[in-house]
Amino acid sequence: MNYKVKDISMAEAGRMKIEWAESKMPVLMSLREKYEKTKPLKGQRIAGCLHVTKETAVLVETLRAAGAEIAWSGCNPLSTQDDIAAALAKAGYSIFAWHGMNVEEFYWCIDRTLDFKPTLTLDDGADLIMSIHTKHKGLIKEMLGGTEETTTGVHRLRAMADDGALKYPVIAVNDAETKWDFDNVYGTGQSSIDGILRATSVLLAGKTFVVGGYGHCGRGCAMRAAGLGSNVIATEVKPTQALKATLEGHRIMKMDQAASVGDIFITATGMKDIIVKRHFEKMKDGAIVCNTGHYDCEINIDDLEALTKSKRTVRPNCEEYTLKNGKHIFLLAQGRLVNLAAAEGHPSEVMDMSFANQFLSQLRTVREGEKMENKVYGIPEEQDQEIASLKLSTMGISIDNLSKDQISYASDYLAGT
Ligand code: 3DD
């Protein structure tokens, strides 16, 4: 058997969680039912590098049902759910993932997924694609194309393409409205609060909750923290985003000001050094600091360590740093994405649409990959509407449609007041 997981005996527990997710991912399951008959991915070898969660397992099993051969690794050292990895290993997948791996092991796992010479990649954060473009250039000739799940990964790949460095076509799944306007907002909003609560069990009502970055993810976190009674402060560098946060009723401050008043801090910017030494020095005793961005560069841990007299793990995913100034700061999930490292990531219902986009984009790459250029492609509007309408139907929701007369009215420029 070709896999490396923490403990294969956890497979049964993992399988039950996968079944739980299947029951809440009707769009992806309907696509599985449709394509397991025709198997359009037959003959394809998909290397995946995406958080190993119960929802990802549903995507993996849908890709196999459609005919693909799969090799998989996790895209973050702390986000793998070990029982899910065990269930996939037990089901015969080449999976290399466990919670708490170090960076060297992380890349070793990616390398193992490349042993079978993939024809497609499915990435979250572009570390897999980057490995192929750097350490495994010989695989590029076999590659049809790839898909990328997250904002940060798409930014990296667009920069690569602009530089002429991208050597095969990639579809930006994050650009799908049925991904970014649901997963990034409602998924990140709920799962980040979930991670904070599992790691600290604190009351959010009445607390000053500082959100670093008011993009889609930050907006979700702000919305859900406010919903639980927090006083939200957002920090931003983009005027339009700061304005949106203000009109949403949140306070805007520079992080230099917010640092001294916040009780709970979460970064969601995709940028490095959002919380650094001078911020830690200003923080209140007992401040809780965490990140929900893809990489662990948003909170400068080296700066925190430099100010620290001692540290200890006081709860799972919650480290107490005792500073030389006598104050305590609690860092969650070692500064890595708190929603996946301290909880289970976004709920199945919202990943249902993200992964329907992943699945359809893999099919599109097989259909069109040879004609596609080495650049980053968006998602067709009709795919978004198809997924949203499938989702609505699974929720028993019907909507209006335009009459022929209304459709002609929409383009009748003579119809004025
Ligand atoms: N991500 C969040 N929750 C997830 C879950 N339950 N399974 C797999 C991946 C999950 C990460 C996504 O939000 C991804 O779209 C991103 O990082 O943008």
Say if CB 9 and CB 43 are below 8 A apart.
Answer: no
Q: Tell which residue, 203, 196, 213, has the closest CA to residue 333.
A: 196
Cα–Cα distance measured from residue 410 to residue 417, given in angstroms and rounded to the nearest whole number: 14
| Domains of the chain from N-terminus onward | 8-181+345-394 (3.40.50.1480), 188-341 (3.40.50.720)
Residue 1 clears pLDDT 80, i.e. is over it = no
SS3 letters for 237-276? CCHHHHHHHHHCCCEECCHHHHCCCCCEEEECCCCCCCEC
**pLDDT value, residue 127:** 97
Measured between alpha carbons, how far is 338 from 334 in angstroms, rounded to an integer? 9
* Ligand 1 contact, 152 CB (< 6 A): no
Q: Which whole number is the average pLDDT over 292-312?
A: 97
- What's the average model confidence in pLDDT over 254-270? 98
At residue 369, the pLDDT reads 87
Closest residue to atom 14 of ligand 1, CA basis: 150
Question: Between vectors from CA 109 to CA 105 and to CA 114, what angle results, nearest 5°?
Answer: 145
Is 153:377 a contact under the CB 8 Å cutoff? no
**pTM to 2 decimals?**
0.96
Whole-number Å distance, alpha carbon 373 to ligand 1 midpoint, is 27
Task: Please answer whether residues 222 and 367 qualify as being in contact, where contact means their C-beta atoms are separated by less than 8 angstroms.
Answer: no
| Residue 233: φ, ψ to 5° | -115, 130
152 assigned to a ligand binding site: yes
- How far apart are alpha carbons 44 and 31 in whole angstroms? 18
Closest alpha carbon to 280 in 307, 252, 310: 307
Among residues of the chain, what percentage have pLDDT more than 70? 100
Mean pLDDT within 204-219:
98
Residue 374 marked as a ligand binder: no
3-state secondary structure of 155: helix
Pocket test for ligand 1, best of 354, 359, 379 (most atoms within 8 A of CB): 354
CA distances from 294 to 17, 145, 268, 313, 343 (A): 24, 22, 8, 23, 15
